[in-house]
Amino acid sequence: MFDDAFASVASLSRKLQAREVSAEELARFYLQRIDEHKNVNAFLDVRPEETLAQARAADAKIAAGEATPLTGIPIAHKDIFVTRKWASTAASRMLKGYMSPFDATVVRKLEAAGMVCLGKLNCDEFAMGSGNENSAYGRVLNPWDHSAVPGGSSGGSSAAVAAGLAPIATGTDTGGSIREPAAFTGVTGIKPTYGRPSRLGMIAFASSLDTAGLLAHSAEDCAMTLGAMVGFDPMDSTSVNRETEDFTRLLDDGVKGLRIGVPRLWMKEGLDAEVAEAIESVVEFYAHHGAQIVDIDLPMAKLGVPVYYVVACAEASSNLSRFDGVRYGYRASEYQDIEDMMRRSRDEGFGAEPKRRIMIGTYVLSHGYYDAYYLKAQKVRRLIADEFHRTFKSVDLIACPVTASTAFQFGEKADPVSAYLSDLYTIPASLAGLPGLSMPCGIHSNGRPMGIQLIGEHFTEARLLGAAATWQRETDWHCKQPNGY
């Protein structure tokens, strides 16, 4: 009987190939756990018959000798990816029960590799938030502490992996939504280079930033899966024309000779003392293993938050205009004329956060304010990207915090500005389109996990994963499990 809820993708793959477990058995096991831990509220749509059909198809492939290393491995998808067989809601009332006529490219590719979908994961509405408190379908619990947020916007993804309800999950990261929830729940998360994974079928929030990625128990698990997920998509005009690669190839290479930049000045900004200490312990570990630690300064990075909330809201206001009660989803039941129908549908369908962002975005794009806000933000965005590219001439990767503190309490950041400010360490890499990784590096005295972020130049995912694997080979923070699961 299979009973290892926290098994790695790598070990599941070995067991499946050796026929020690079947894909169907794994699917049934995780479906049962999802049912047992419904109170976490990580899943928005579970359809066992669809999952089992995929599992049986995977078993047939394994039997026929046509399996990939991912065939039969269960995965759950953030409800930002559209799926034909599960409802796609973006955690919004606007899209309640919406069935997409096609699968997102990321979903399709992972299914083609043989992965078995367990269902759709809760998140912040339209991926707007840092604590998963903005879902129209209720908050998600942090398995480590039920009074704390699981992070956002991919809070269902982080909670599902941390609670052993899925060995791996997709997420999306626009300004930190994979890295921050990974840090808050003690899992490993990677946001690849912007444009590497297709955006086709990812419900759009801020198109110049939205990036699909993964959350799992280890860098190795992310590396094994990422290769099947990315690659050029002619159906996405922002897709990078670059083929996928073997992201596992540097996992055993160590960090000898790697130049790791540490922006200590930036790290002074409100950083919790224990988190700072945990980060320094990783830096010391890398130095001890032959990396060269370089002091760097990123003075532009502190401008990330204001720039992001201008650019992201501007793009959101444009993207969300497609929800008008005519083409998709929710339509108000009572109205006088077409304008009234649209107004009421949007008023009743959107939650407070999307409305707030639509208003900010419309304002910064409006005549008279466009130059002062939107154009200025775009210019500063370029300066932030340039600063990173200059820095990457003298370092191979940057090590810095993911968040200034551990997971916050529900309701603690009810004021939107305080929530926005919590993204200070994740946003700069997003604005520059850089790959970023978050991995566990300790448990705080408050009992909640702590994480560290690694950022690399464009297309250096394999190196980030390799550096993370070096740490994870000799430490066990990524193996810690919350009590009660």
Residues that bind ligand GLN (CB under 6 A): 127-130, 153, 173-177, 205, 312, 423
- Beta carbon of residue 154, minimum distance to ligand GLN (angstroms, whole number): 8
Q: Give the closest residue to 281 by CA, choosing from 262, 258, 296, 257.
A: 262
- Beta carbon of residue 271, minimum distance to ligand GLN (angstroms, whole number): 18
- Beta carbon of residue 13, minimum distance to ligand GLN (angstroms, whole number): 29
Cβ proximity to ligand GLN: between 41 and 130 the closer is 130
Q: Are 418 and 481 in contact (CB under 8 A)?
A: no
Cβ proximity to ligand GLN: between 176 and 201 the closer is 176
Q: Give the closest residue to 236 by CA, choosing from 273, 208, 275.
A: 208
- Number of helices and strands (H, E) in the chain? 15, 11
In the Cβ-directed half-sphere of 2, how many Cα atoms lie within 13 Å?
22
Cβ proximity to ligand GLN: between 220 and 423 the closer is 423
- Catalytic annotation, pick one of 22, 88, 135, 153: 153
Cβ proximity to ligand GLN: between 176 and 449 the closer is 176
Q: Are 149 and 131 in contact (CB under 8 A)?
A: yes
Is 438 a known active-site residue?
no
- Catalytic annotation, pick one of 177, 198, 345, 430: 177
- Beta carbon of residue 280, minimum distance to ligand GLN (angstroms, whole number): 26
Q: Give the closest residue to 260 by CA, choosing from 285, 294, 298.
A: 294
- Catalytic annotation, pick one of 78, 109, 120, 191: 78
Positive/negative CA dihedral, 428, 460, 185, 36: positive
- Beta carbon of residue 285, minimum distance to ligand GLN (angstroms, whole number): 28
Q: Is the peptide bond before 153 cis (omega within 30 degrees of 0)?
A: yes
Cβ proximity to ligand GLN: between 205 and 425 the closer is 205
Cβ proximity to ligand GLN: between 55 and 127 the closer is 127
Cβ proximity to ligand GLN: between 211 and 391 the closer is 211
Whole-angstrom Cα distance, residue 367 to residue 89? 33
Is 413 a known active-site residue?
no
Whole-angstrom Cα distance, residue 191 to residue 173? 6
Q: What are phi and psi of 258, to 5 degrees?
A: -70, 135
Is 177 a known active-site residue?
yes
Whole-angstrom Cα distance, residue 306 to residue 381? 10
Q: Give the closest residue to 137 by CA, choosing from 89, 201, 176.
A: 89
Residue 291, CA distances (Å) to 166, 219, 466 in order: 34, 19, 13
- Beta carbon of residue 365, minimum distance to ligand GLN (angstroms, whole number): 17
- Beta carbon of residue 335, minimum distance to ligand GLN (angstroms, whole number): 31
Q: Give the closest residue to 100 by CA, choosing from 217, 200, 215.
A: 200
List residues bridging with 437 in a β-sheet: 190, 454
**Which residue minimizes CB distance to ligand GLN?**
177
Q: Which sequence positions are flagged as catalytic?
A: 78, 153, 177
